[in-house]
Structure 1
Amino acid sequence: MVSSLRIALLSYRGNPRSGGQGVYVRHLSRELAGLGHRVEVLAGPPYPEVDDGVRLTELPGLDLFAEPNPFRTPRPSELRDLPAWVEFLGMRRGGFPEPLAFSLRAARHLGKRRREFDIVHDNQGLGYGMLHCGLPTITTVHHPIAVDRDLKLATVTGPEADRVKRWYGFVHMQHRVARRLPTLTVSQASREAIIREMRVPADRIHVVPLAADNRIFKHRPGIVRVPGRVVTTASADEPLKGLDVLLKAWAKVDGELVVVGKPKPGGPAARAMANLGPDANVRFVSDLTDEELARLLSSAEVVCVPSLFEGFSLPAAEAMACGTPVVATTAGALPEVVGDAGILVPPGDPGALADAINALLGNGGRRSELSARSLAAAAKLSWRRTAQKTADRYREILGRTPEQERAEC
């Protein structure tokens, strides 16, 4: 019998409705617990959702970027320790200090509870505190944030470029920390980007793919697909997600576009929407439950992933698990995830994107073919398999491989 591990899974923020980090923490922790491990999630605000069998320990920060009062000045009583000052001064200087501040809080917390855990698993925080936990530590890098920074810098100049550089000042820290920790990542494309951007040695990076939650994202034959409906997910209105490219392409598509996300005032999507005009058949929806999102994906004839880079792409995997054909770009890991179960076009090309969407909307036979391929491809991935491979890597780091433990038994 293989023994259980005591795992501290860290996430400096874990919003379950925005971005993939909260999704990763929830599903990985649940499946690790299902394998018999004791898992405790340590997180900063906004806090992730966790399932039965997983303990959540909240490590409150100042949360200076939260609505309804972002960039607030904290009360003097809140500035009671080093992490709070790091968070406050970093914000005032135009940076994003949460990864560093959270790592200092987590290291302090873990230092008091060192005997309660076997291993610490950092979820792309990569703050300096992760080097001082006093416990074996591994990190997951979904993709290098330098990719986001460079794509953003390509769209701005002058003072705005200086602001972007200040905001992404934490990237240098993340690179330094990653080079000192064993690393998990979610695709070969991310692995190559980590080697290139972060200079992490190749033999220190292990790929463990993600999956859709197949309890919720699944084929639903009772849901009728809405003619002409295309769905896209934009967890952040940033150049990386390519939403503005899709909106430019939409001028050439006759259909209904449903965007899961919120446009940023004055951001790329808002500008592209202004160019489309008031008659564009585009609507934004947000704050959907997983069940609502799954039903929406199942109602679409096409799901579009127009990203300029993806470390994995849960939206593509979730659409495929629902049997919905995908139009995506060739950026990052999308060819690995989608394969021959969708149509792939060059990133940043509105014309190619429009042509691919139109070709699928106008060809029911092709959609049926890709739907079958999508379901077959999605069936090969599961969060349980992700957790098993992650736990195997924990044991390698601890020198406790399943084979050794079975031999001891």
Structure 2
Amino acid sequence: MTAEAIQTGPRADAAADGDAPLRIALLTYKGNPFCGGQGVYVRHLSRELARLGHRVEVIGAQPYPELDEGVPLTELPSLDLYRQPDPFRTPGRGEYRDWIDALEVATMWTGGFPEPLTFSLRARRHLRARRGDFDVVHDNQTLGYGLLGDVGAPLVTTIHHPITVDRRLDLDAAADLKRRLSVRRWYGFTRMQGRVARRLPSVLTVSGSSRQEITEHLAVPADRIHVVHVGADTDLFSPDPSVAEVPGRIVTTSSADVPLKGLVHLVEALAKVRTDRPDAHLVVVGRRAEDGPVARTIERHGLGDAVRFVKGITDAELVDLVRSAQIACVPSLYEGFSLPAAEAMATGTPLVATTGGAIPEVAGPDGDTCLAVPPGDSEALAGALRRLLGDDALRERLGARGRARVLARFTWKQAALGTAERYREAIAAARPAVRTP
């Protein structure tokens, strides 16, 4: 049976026309709630879709997402080859279940990243066995070969941004030929993702910048790509005057040695700022790397006591940390959307951000809702941090206008409404054409 012949009849007609709640399978091959945006996206989108009356079932692999009450999780486990504290582990003989497990290990052994492909194969098998359970399947950037063809319902895919952007930046940061070859092999799955993306009928993305990047990097026709902005949880991320502001505190969310995140430039900027603001210090929400460019930069500038990393904190602890900061900073070289920017703005914390990728779409105009600087420019970053740390009135104005911008443009309810509209379009497009005599 072809995808075009699936979900026909009265139930599908009502779902497409907006007369019935939708039955949604939301796939996520990686749902870490503490690192990266995919787990955040799945959690908040699924909750808001459920609040709209839809039935959402998340189907995911390790690390599993944290979901809100009322949203079920179906575990579709991988071999979890990258888990801590034993990443790149070799499974025991008794752990192998089928040929997909063998493929996962073989790809890891040869330096590749197998999870998008192997999750897509497991997901296809699972979805075909449950044909008729869902009106639509929503893939969260797996883009694996297993999702081509019949998956039991019309397919909608979110591409947050092309991973080829990460690949390019990691290659640029590679210190030698050996490292470049390793990076190329690790990102080998991006060839598959490009081939799959070009064959998809309906692609969602989170910003106009990402839409352009998907067209340029993956050669997906622009008329197949629809922008649905994601948002902040504006009830959770909100101002609270009872949380004391800590003088000199700057907070950012970043993986320490992912070049895309630009943390090394923020550390360099902090060193410059501390020459005249010795109380300036940085709290990084993310894992601390014991070696690498960020660690070496911290050591070179003697910032061991001025840079602190935190991870695994609760949502409430994260919000209070952002509230306590005088400045939130997004130093990324590129972002497909930037949830940390939207969340910081929602708390009323003034923002310093680069103009990398889609960040200006979120953060807004320089001097109005944020201070904007070019990506990769530690001198400009230091200048913006100094200016904002030294101007109470500017911090108050940017914080208030930043929250107003998020409330007007970037909420999860708005994201869910826009996404559901695209689901119905995909269901309608999958109906067989009605022939007239």
Scaled by the length of structure 1, what TM-score is found? Answer: 0.96
**Counterpart pick for 2:426 among 361, 386, 397:** 397
8 Å contact 1:90–1:96 — kept in the other structure? yes
Residue range with higher mean Cα deviation, 265-274 or 134-143: 265-274
8 Å contact 1:237–1:262 — kept in the other structure? no
CA deviations over 1:339-391 (Å, ceiling 9, x no partner) = 13101100000000000000000011111110111111011121011001000
**Counterpart pick for 2:222 among 166, 182, 202:** 202
Cα distance in 1 for residues equivalent to 2:258 and 2:182? 15
Cα distance in 2 for residues equivalent to 1:80 and 1:282? 45
Residue range with higher mean Cα deviation, 95-104 or 373-382: 373-382
| Residue 346 of structure 2 corresponds to residue 300 of structure 1 | no
**Counterpart pick for 2:417 among 380, 388, 396:** 388
Cα distance in 1 for residues equivalent to 2:335 and 2:124? 30
Cα distance in 2 for residues equivalent to 1:360 and 1:73? 50
Q: Offset of 1:263 from its aligned partner? A: 2.1
8 Å contact 1:238–1:268 — kept in the other structure? no
Cα distance in 1 for residues equivalent to 2:265 and 2:256? 14
- The aligned counterpart of 1:404 is none
- The aligned counterpart of 1:277 is 302
- The aligned counterpart of 1:370 is 398
**Counterpart pick for 2:139 among 114, 122, 126:** 122
CA RMSD of aligned residues (A): 1.4
Q: Offset of 1:77 from its aligned partner? A: 2.5
CA deviations over 1:45-79 (Å, ceiling 9, x no partner) = 11001112211000011011111211111122322
Cα distance in 1 for residues equivalent to 2:415 and 2:230? 6
| Residue 171 of structure 2 corresponds to residue 153 of structure 1 | yes
Aligned to 1:379, the other structure's residue is in SS state helix
- The aligned counterpart of 1:225 is 245
| Residue 95 of structure 2 corresponds to residue 78 of structure 1 | yes
CA deviations over 1:267-289 (Å, ceiling 9, x no partner) = 22112112121565111111111
Cα distance in 2 for residues equivalent to 1:298 and 1:272? 27
Cα distance in 1 for residues equivalent to 2:323 and 2:282? 14
8 Å contact 1:239–1:268 — kept in the other structure? no
Residue range with higher mean Cα deviation, 240-249 or 230-239: 230-239
**Counterpart pick for 2:157 among 139, 144, 147:** 139
Cα distance in 2 for residues equivalent to 1:118 and 1:269? 46
**Counterpart pick for 1:338 among 363, 379, 387:** 363
Identity of aligned residues (%): 57
Q: Offset of 1:396 from its aligned partner? A: 0.6
- The aligned counterpart of 1:17 is 34
Q: Offset of 1:237 from its aligned partner? A: 2.8
- The aligned counterpart of 2:3 is none
- The aligned counterpart of 1:406 is none
8 Å contact 1:230–1:257 — kept in the other structure? yes
Cα distance in 2 for residues equivalent to 1:175 and 1:135? 22
Aligned to 2:287, the other structure's residue is in SS state coil
8 Å contact 1:9–1:39 — kept in the other structure? yes
**Counterpart pick for 1:286 among 295, 311, 317:** 311
In structure 1, stretches of 5+ residues that fail to align are 402-409
- The aligned counterpart of 1:213 is 233
Q: How does 1:156-175 map to 2 (within 5 A)?
A: 156=174, 157-175=176-194
The AA in structure 1 aligned to 2:44 is H
The AA in structure 2 aligned to 1:376 is A
Cα distance in 1 for residues equivalent to 2:303 and 2:342? 32
Cα distance in 2 for residues equivalent to 1:233 and 1:121? 27
Q: How does 1:177-196 map to 2 (within 5 A)?
A: 177-181=196-200, 182-196=202-216
Cα distance in 1 for residues equivalent to 2:327 and 2:53? 39
Cα distance in 1 for residues equivalent to 2:137 and 2:364? 34
- The aligned counterpart of 1:327 is 352
**Counterpart pick for 1:92 among 76, 93, 109:** 109
In structure 2, stretches of 5+ residues that fail to align are 1-17, 431-437
CA deviations over 1:131-151 (Å, ceiling 9, x no partner) = 141321111011110000100
**Counterpart pick for 2:71 among 21, 42, 54:** 54
CA deviations over 1:109-157 (Å, ceiling 9, x no partner) = 0010011011110001111111141321111011110000100100112
Scaled by the length of structure 2, what TM-score is found? Answer: 0.90
Q: Offset of 1:236 from its aligned partner? A: 5.4
Aligned to 1:42, the other structure's residue is in SS state strand
Cα distance in 2 for residues equivalent to 1:375 and 1:365? 16
Specify whether residues 6 and 279 from structure 1 end up closer, same or farther in structure 2 by C-alpha distance, changes over 3 A only. closer
8 Å contact 1:142–1:185 — kept in the other structure? yes
**Counterpart pick for 2:126 among 109, 114, 134:** 109
Cα distance in 1 for residues equivalent to 2:413 and 2:219? 30
Count of equivalent residues: 401
